Amino acid sequence: MRIIAGSLRGRRLNPPANLPVRPTTDMARESLFNILNNYVDYEECTVMDLFAGTGAVSLEFVSRGVKNVTSIDINNACTEYIKTAARQMNVDNIHVVRADVFDLLKRAYKKFDIIFADPPYALQDLPKLPDIVFGSEVLNEDGIFILEHPKEFSFEEHPHFWQHRAYGKVNFTFFAMKLSE
């Protein structure tokens, strides 16, 4: 696993083998950021990475110049790995939080420009996640919410649905508060 582009391009992530994660593949991450490049000014963005796992997506955002990233994961080994990787890469604009995503969204007070979520595919509340995110009001008015999910789910009927992309087994659905191209 490596950082695809930006100031950390080529840097490798070597998480412990026992982390309970399913990292977003390099190809899928590259495709995701190719889409975002057309819509996002990274230097003006704040990002929340839900179910952050290895922190690969968080670090990819940092590498591309975002102001700050808040990485959330409930697993202590994951949050410790993200902190270690950030320290090794001299990254100081990642705030790592060990918390249950659903509890955190209920009490969050800060707003973000981009929220990325890569929940466990077997997560029972995965279909409810867009409603929970939009109901929590943590997304800025012009913000984007991106959900990584298995192909069995379709969110095209959701009121904030914007677009869907599939890359092998990886599916990204993009949601926006304000729908525009």
Provide the residue-wise pLDDT of the chain in tens; the chain has 181 residues.
889 998 999 898 888 788 878 777 788 889 999 999 999 999 989 999 999 999 999 999 999 999 999 999 999 999 999 999 999 999 999 999 999 999 999 998 899 999 999 998 888 889 999 999 999 989 999 999 999 999 999 999 999 999 999 988 889 999 998 765 4
Instruction: Map tokens 């509890």 to a residue.
Output: 103
What would the DSSP string read from start to end of 42-73? GGG-EEEEET-TTSHHHHHHHHTT-SEEEEEE
Q: Report the predicted TM-score, pTM, of the whole model to 2 decimal places.
A: 0.93
- Enumerate domains of the chain plus CATH numbers: 26-176 (3.40.50.150)
Question: Which pair of structure tokens corresponds to residue 83?
Answer: 């902190």
Nearest to 4 by CA among 45, 61, 44: 61
CB 57 within 8 A of CB 49: yes
